[in-house]
Amino acid sequence: MGFTHQFWQLTVDGLTVGSLYAVIALGYTLVYGVLQLINFAHSEVFMLGSFGGLFAARALVPGGPTPSGLTSVGLVAAGLACGAATGGLAAFTLERVAYRPLRRRSAPRLAYLISAIGASGLAVNLAGKEFGRQNVPVPNLFTSGTVFHIFSAKVSTQSLFIFVTAAVMLVGLDRLVAGTRLGQGIRAVAQDSDTAGLMGVDVERIIVVTFVIGGLLAGAGGFLYATTFNASYNMGFVPGVKAFTAAVLGGIGNVRGAVLGGLVLGLVESYGGYVFQASYKDVIAFLVLVLILMVRPSGLLGERLGRAA
């Protein structure tokens, strides 16, 4: 069948995966907006969150038939909560161990990069040692039926739940940053941390909270990702690079830009994988990153978090 016949199905698939990229990308964009640094260990926070949700799902669904209805929703919610908690704890630990000592010593930016890479390598190898080096399947928590159709596209229970959950998290974060006192503090530190500190903002607290929020989202996103692609000790690398690409595409440091970049990247991958081959999806993502950096390095929206509405 031609591209036009598959267009709506490709669009649904692209938006589903793109929403996951957007959730992960928010961790990159929040930390960059506040510290002007790329947290290269964020992909491992995503990976650890997937295992946190996986173990919760295994404990609650040791075997037997696939749950359905409210039982399925409750089990997935428990997995999300445990994945988010694991990601938040991992991000908090990362900030305390790999970033705060350097910040207190006014270390050069290169030291932050090396520290993040070291933390990333430690997490990957520790996960490989503890969880094994093979893919670990997540118990099936969704019925396989089609919920409804969008034109010729079939929307499954799993795709709908992933998209809706990601949308709720993305909208919630946008409202938190734009309309709460905590969000004002985050935007103030992102715009000028020294002045924010003089005005009474607890800069250290804001930095920690920013890391934890990014970790919560990454952990929940990791569990959602694992429900489709399974979990593994090195699963964070490719989604992490793609999420970073999404953040750059939308305008790194911009919350809404990360969301836009994730959705656009998911669609480009879905369409490109069909037009060329599915094995070219990763190539397409990296090509998008290179082209964006060459043509529009500030991204589609190009605002920093401190100036976001």
278, with CB counted inside 10 A (0-12, 13-18, 19+), is exposed
Residue 272 pLDDT > 50, yes or no? Answer: yes
- How many whole angstroms separate alpha carbon 244 and alpha carbon 303? 16
Q: What's this model's pTM, rounded to 2 decimal places?
A: 0.89
Residue-wise pLDDT for 71-112, tens only, equals 777 888 899 999 999 999 999 999 999 999 998 888 888 898
pLDDT recorded at residue 207: 92
- How many whole angstroms separate alpha carbon 27 and alpha carbon 247? 9
What number is the average pLDDT over the span 276-289? Answer: 80
Residue-wise pLDDT for 32-81, tens only, equals 888 888 888 999 999 999 999 999 988 887 665 666 667 777 888 899 99
Could you give phi then psi for residue 149, rounded to 5 degrees?
A: -115, 145
- How many whole angstroms separate alpha carbon 246 and alpha carbon 260? 8
What number is the average pLDDT over the span 279-297? Answer: 81
What number is the average pLDDT over the span 162-188? Answer: 89
pLDDT recorded at residue 66: 65
β-bridge mates for residue 146, sequence order: 156
Using an 8 Å Cβ cutoff, are 246 and 14 in contact?
Answer: no
Please say whether the dihedral angle defined by the alpha carbons of residues 241, 242, 244 and 245, taken in this order, is positive or negative.
positive
Residue-wise pLDDT for 5-24, tens only, equals 788 889 999 999 999 999 99
